Structure formats: C-alpha cells, structure tokens
Structure 1
Amino acid sequence: MTDARAEEAARSVLATFGGRALGVPRTRLATVARPGRPRGEWHYWWQAHLIDCLVDARLRGSALVDDRLIRSHIRGVWLRNGLRFRNGYFDDMAWLALATQRFGRLGGADGATRRLRPVLESALRHDWGGGALWSTQRDFINTAATGPIALFLARAGERDVPRRMLGWLRANLADADGLMRDGLRVVEGRLVPVSDVFTYNQGPVLGLMLELGGDELPAAEAHVRAVARRLTRPGTRVLRTHGAGDGGLFSGILTRYLALAAADPRLDRQARILAGEVVTATADDLWDRRAVRGWRGRPVVVFPQDTHADAVGETAELSTQLQAWMALEAAAVTVAALR
C-alpha cells in the first residue's frame, strides 16, 4: 500500500508539473505552480529535491522513473541555470550535489557532482572555526548550508572535515535539546544568532550522524527523540509544516532522513520505531487530506501545503507537492524496514 501511494504521488507530480526545459528536447524541468506563475520564476533547489524524489522512486522500483529521465532533469537544471550548475546559494548547490551523488551510486554518473564539490568546499569558513556560508554574499553561516555540505562530504569519503562541521554546529547552533537553530548572521564582523528552529535543518544533520556512525549513533537517537517531542503537532506524531513557497519543502526533507534512521539497524529499536512513527503519521496525514483534480483530461492527486490543513487550495505549488511525495517515499522505506 505504501509503495502504491508513493507511485501515485510520483505520477501526479510528474504529470502535473513536468515538461521540457525551455522547450529543448532531451531535457526535463518542473514548472513552479499549477495554475502557472509568471514566466521566468526559477527555484533551483526545488528542482534539486525533485531529482532526489526521482532517485527515491528509482530505488523503489517505480515503473515511471529510469536513469534517462533522471539525467534529463539534471540536464534541465543545467540548461535553465545558464549552462552551469553553480549559482549564488551554497545550500541550493548542496541539495543538488546530494541528489546527483545518490544517483551516481546507482551507476547514473554525471558531471554535476564532480563540478559542485570544489564550489561547496569554498563555502567552508575555517577562519570562523567551522560552518559553511549560505550564499556568495558571504554574510550568513547557517545550518541549511553546513548540514548538507557536511553530509555530502561524508558520503564522498571524508571524515575529519564533516566531524569538525558537526562539532561547529553543536557548539554554535544547537539548542538545549540538540535541535539546530538557523544560523549566524555576519554583522560588522560579529556573528549574530538567528534562532529559528526549522524542521528541514534537522534532516541532513541527522543524516550526517548516521553517516559518521560510531559514537554519533547515540546522538542520532537523541535527535530523533527531540524531533518527535518538539517538531510535531500537539498530541500527534505528525510533523509541523511551514506553509507554501520554500517552506513547503521543509518537513518533507526531514522525513527523508527520519526514514534513514528508521531503517538503520545500528540504532536502538525504540528510536527506529519512533522515527518511523513520525514519518508514517506525516505521510498518512498528507495522503488523507489529498484531493483529486483533472489535469489535461486525467485525474491527478493534489496534496495540501500543510499537515492538518482543512482543504487543498486552488493553486498547487511544486514545493508542497514534493514535500508530500518525499514523505510518501519515506513512508515506503520505513514500512519495509520495520516490517
């Protein structure tokens, strides 16, 4: 059942939002919203998470996704981004690097991962004791860049640098429960805290703990418990969400990494079950609140932008639909792992 729900999410997102990049053959790119937004609106990191969802579906054995489709989406990002993968935001590029790195492990190698690595390494601020810059404006060191860059490097075989980055996060941005705050703004040479705690920032940090393993595994268990206690809706295991726009991706990203925890046999069984409960409760909530709409003569599923939402809005944004797709793919992984 969970596989079938993930497949329906994949079919609906691809059918509703998919198309050629700038009309060029052998490329694919998703539009930002349906009904459409003004031409030219561009969200690089939304496309990166679409590619990650395609990799999820490919791993699940989806009938809809093959290596050629994934390559066409990577090529579409490169084309739409001005014939390059580099842009002004290091977190954007880290999300794409993580997705293409996972694709490479399936044998689908492409040039994006190799090209992005030195760019991401240039974001590291060793002079501030660690952490990674958010953008080329170089005025914000945050979890959103540090977490995924550290995870990318750890998955590439590095150990010392990702460990130092995780230590920097704990020393500078962890709250009393170990959840990561947003970042440190550089203001007149001083680092000023930005204390928001967002769901998505916890995901790659959890993934990093799992990737490093060893003495980080108890910390990963504690992180799962803090997420379940602090970032779910009262009286439930359903993750809080962050509305539309960029925030529409946030909680879906966290479910991806909670699913890794649920599937990791090195963790305490109760922590695995707890991670799985958060994933499946969130996926169930989004699935149960779905609506069916017509698109080009075919029914498609549209998901709410928020958990516990009363209804699906008239406009569906790519970000919110990817959030639901991620959660449903994560639920499929979780159920299979804990069966």
Structure 2
Amino acid sequence: MPSDVESSSQQTALHRSRAAVAAIRTRNLRPIAHWVPGTRIGQSSWPAAGRPLSKARLTASWNYWWQAHLLDLLVDAARLGDAAAGREARSLIRGILIRNTGRWTNSYYDDMAWLALAVERADRVIDGSRHHRGLRILTGVLHDAWQPELGGGIPWRTTDHFFNVPANGPAGIFLARRGRVERAVATADWIAETMVLPSGLIADGFWLEPDGSHRYINTVFTYCQGVTLGLDAECFRLTGRTSHLDRIEALLAAVEERCTDDGVVKGAGGGDGGLFAGILARNLALLATDLPATGHGDLRRRIEAVRARAGALVLTSAAAAWANRATVDGLPVFGADWSTPAAVPSADGQASAFIGGAVRSASSPERDLSVQLSGAILIAAAASVTLGSPEHTVSVTPG
C-alpha cells in the first residue's frame, strides 16, 4: 500500500505531465492546413508565424523529426492515462504521412529512426494504432543501411558518408525492439569502438574522406549520450551481457560529471538543439525503470545503483524545469535551459528555420516546439520514474 507521501508525489508528477502535454496540445497541435479532418501536425512555433491561413503560416517549416518526438510525447501521455492522447497520436501519424506525401521515408536516416521508434511505441501502447506496413518499411530501410565496408554504422543521410550517433543510436534501439537484436548489439559495439572520447562521452560522428580516412566531429551533444545509454540498456535487457552494463556505468558517470550542473541536465538552446536534453532525459528514465533489477550480489547492486543515479538526474532536472517555468493561461512554458527562468515568447523576431540540414533557433528559444517538447518529455519521464512505470514488461536475467 503506497504511503500518503508516495501517493502525493505520484499525483503531483501526473498533474505536471498532463499540464505539459496540455500546453502543447493547446498551442501547437493542429489539423493539417488547419482544417483536414482526422489529422494533426505539430506547429513548429508558438506564437506561430504570420496570420491564420497566411502563406507564412501554411508554408512554415514542419521539421519531420520534431513530429516524431511529438508523437513520442503523446505515447507517453497515453501510457500515463491521458484519454485523448491515443486518438491524437493516431491523427498525428496520419498527418505526418500526408505532410510527407504519403511516404514513411525521407533522405535522412536519423529522421526515419526517430519516427520508427515513435510509431513502434504507438503500436505497442495505443489501442487501434496499427502501422505494420510502415514499420516493415522502416525496419528494412534502417537494417539495410548498415555499411561496415565504409566504416559504419549507418550514415546520417542517404546521399553522403557522414556516420553519426544521432542516426545509429535511435536506429539501434528501434531494431532491438523489432527483434533485430544482433544488429542492435553490433550498433552498440560500433559506437563503443569508434565514438568514445577521452572524457568518456560520445562524439557526434565522422566523415569518410575520399582517401578512406575518418574525419571526426568530436562535438559533444547530450542526445548522443542519451541514445547510447538507451541502446546499451536495450541490449543489456535483451541479452544480459554485462559488457553493456559496463558501458552504461562509464557513460553515466561522464554524463553526471560533464553534462549536468548541480544534477540538472544542460540545455542546448533552441532549434534542433532544443530537443537534445529531453532525449537524454527519456533515456535516463529508461535506465531507471527498465534496467532489469535481477541477478545476484554485486551485479544486482550495480544495476540498482545505475537505476537510482539515472532516476535522480531525471527528477532533479524535472524539479528545476518546473520551478523555472513561465505560465500562460495556467499552462507551462519551459526554457531551453532548465536551470534558469523561462521567458514567455512573442511573435516578434525570427521564427525557427530549416537551414543546411538543421533547424536554427527562433530569436526566443522558448518559441520553438523543440524546446517545449523537451520540457514536456522531461516531465513525462519524471512521472514514469516516480510511478515506477516501465517501458517494457519482459527482460532476460543477466548472467
């Protein structure tokens, strides 16, 4: 029987998560072109660019991978008991397909991996969500993109030879969940062999040069740490191999030391960077709820310590983000940096824009859907940790 304190903390976590989702539902979730029935799409800015039905609004950037994380958030909400979220998730998948001209694929493997992850979760969690054909297509595309003869891994984009963690991490997690465990393990091994920096953190990726050499991009992004932790968590859950736990422990220690301030995950501004911290938070929550707390003796103590440390980062970050939120009409506005007070965005200044393969921040980062999604993903992750609500129900017993 839960204590009154436990019950109160769980109710608070659920209330905050529902408020965060309600904010995005109210401000950003719209039918395609504001009228196509049975569809939803995530408006990239709030306040939106231009007047209703203006060219500026109708042609605003839609950012495929942001939509995937919006779908993931709606799946989170459905798991946590939001009755409307399942229906909205199905409508969003229809909207994404229509906006993407009826195709499940595009020219970016990382985009496809993020959407694949979200659709797989939707079909697993939400009644009436059935996208077998799309998942078969995405499974085949991501599995067949593996290019060991070029040093990969899978590339970032179909048209170049940049092999990076933001494509391989989510693709590996998805393939693990689709039963392609051998490829998921190979992906985790590839990251461990090619991307670990002297700091213990994970690099972005490398370009394959014409002479066959690798030109590394050693920039550290929080979401690279997140998907690497998530991939090793899935591999450990499915194989029980302690090499994956070893990697998780080492990377988690580096994240604690270098990617947080006083236990709060660092932000990365707006635009695409707005999502980075939320992705790390989601995967930290996966460690806290799904790392199989079985085994015996020292192994069990190690697993329990990782679960506790990962959960603490999520809860500390969520408390900071909530304390520093702004409010509009009683609903939260999150900042790009969870450690500092958020500002209420206005329609003045520049909205986010897709430039050179990435999305540039709005003049006010809080205006970007990515920033608000990241905050809401964090708050949902904290609810999952507080409630002890796992992503999966079956794991192997570690050896």
Which category describes the TM-score, using the shorter chain as reference length? over 0.9
Q: How far, CA to CA, are the matches of 2:338 and 2:77 in structure 1?
A: 23
Q: How far, CA to CA, are the matches of 2:150 and 2:168 in structure 1?
A: 13
Q: How far, CA to CA, are the matches of 2:115 and 2:228 in structure 1?
A: 17
Per-residue deviation at 1:311? 3.3
Per-residue deviation at 1:89? 0.8
Per-residue deviation at 1:313? 4.2
Larger CA deviation: 21-30 vs 35-44: 35-44
User: Secondary structure of the residue that 1:88 maps to in structure 2?
Assistant: coil
Larger CA deviation: 33-42 vs 69-78: 33-42
User: What root-mean-square deviation, in Å, do the aligned CA atoms of Structure 1 and Structure 2 show?
Assistant: 1.7
1:209 is matched with 232
Larger CA deviation: 257-266 vs 240-249: 257-266
Q: How far, CA to CA, are the matches of 1:87 and 1:65 in structure 2?
A: 26
Residue of 37, 56, 62 corresponding to 1:25: 37
Stretches of structure 2 that go unaligned for 5 or more consecutive residues are 1-11, 50-55, 294-301, 347-366, 390-399
1:6 is matched with 17
Per-residue deviation at 1:273? 1.4
Q: How far, CA to CA, are the matches of 1:5 and 1:95 in structure 2?
A: 25
Residue pairs, 1:128-147, within 5 angstroms? 128-147=150-169
1:302 is matched with 333
Q: What whole-Å deviation, never above 9, does each CA across 1:225-245 have from its counterpart, x for those lacking one?
A: 221111102xx0000110000
Per-residue deviation at 1:156? 0.9
Q: Does 1:271 align with 2:282?
A: no
Per-residue deviation at 1:72? 0.6
Letter in 1 for 2:28: F
Contact 1:139 1:186 in 2 (8 A): yes
Contact 1:51 1:70 in 2 (8 A): yes
Residue pairs, 1:244-323, within 5 angstroms? 244-263=270-289, 264-266=291-293, 268-294=303-329, 299-315=330-346, 316-323=367-374
Q: What whole-Å deviation, never above 9, does each CA across 1:312-338 have from its counterpart, x for those lacking one?
A: 142421000000000000001111229
Contact 2:152 2:163 in 1 (8 A): no
Letter in 2 for 1:309: T
Contact 2:40 2:91 in 1 (8 A): yes
Q: How far, CA to CA, are the matches of 1:2 and 1:101 in structure 2?
A: 25
Q: What whole-Å deviation, never above 9, does each CA across 1:9-48 have from its counterpart, x for those lacking one?
A: 0111111101101231100001110121333212000000
2:88 is matched with 69
Letter in 2 for 1:203: G
Q: How far, CA to CA, are the matches of 1:328 and 1:161 in structure 2?
A: 32
Letter in 1 for 2:41: L
Residue of 97, 100, 104 corresponding to 1:85: 104
Q: How far, CA to CA, are the matches of 1:128 and 1:171 in structure 2?
A: 15
Q: How many residues align?
A: 331
Larger CA deviation: 71-80 vs 128-137: 128-137
Q: How far, CA to CA, are the matches of 1:193 and 1:130 in structure 2?
A: 13
User: Secondary structure of the residue that 1:130 maps to in structure 2?
Assistant: coil
2:250 is matched with 222
Residue pairs, 1:28-67, within 5 angstroms? 28-37=40-49, 38-39=56-57, 40=59, 41-66=61-86
Contact 2:326 2:341 in 1 (8 A): no
Q: How far, CA to CA, are the matches of 1:159 and 1:83 in structure 2?
A: 29
Residue of 268, 284, 296 corresponding to 1:242: 268
- Percent sequence identity is 37
Stretches of structure 1 that go unaligned for 5 or more consecutive residues are none
CA distance 1:93–1:10, shift in 2 (3 Å): same
Q: How far, CA to CA, are the matches of 2:135 and 2:318 in structure 1?
A: 30
Letter in 2 for 1:205: T
User: Secondary structure of the residue that 2:95 maps to in structure 1?
Assistant: helix
Letter in 2 for 1:69: E
User: Secondary structure of the residue that 1:260 maps to in structure 2?
Assistant: helix
Q: How far, CA to CA, are the matches of 2:26 and 2:71 in structure 1?
A: 15
* TM-score w.r.t. length of structure 2: 0.79
User: Secondary structure of the residue that 1:151 maps to in structure 2?
Assistant: helix
Letter in 2 for 1:289: N
Contact 1:253 1:323 in 2 (8 A): yes
Q: Does 1:175 align with 2:197?
A: yes
Larger CA deviation: 201-210 vs 113-122: 113-122
Per-residue deviation at 1:307? 1.9
User: Secondary structure of the residue that 2:216 maps to in structure 1?
Assistant: strand
Letter in 2 for 1:201: C
Letter in 1 for 2:66: W
Contact 1:11 1:64 in 2 (8 A): no
Q: How far, CA to CA, are the matches of 2:342 and 2:137 in structure 1?
A: 42
Larger Rg: 2
Residue of 104, 124, 127 corresponding to 2:149: 127
Q: How far, CA to CA, are the matches of 1:45 and 1:70 in structure 2?
A: 15
Q: What whole-Å deviation, never above 9, does each CA across 1:144-170 have from its counterpart, x for those lacking one?
A: 001111111111111222222211111
User: Secondary structure of the residue that 1:196 maps to in structure 2?
Assistant: coil
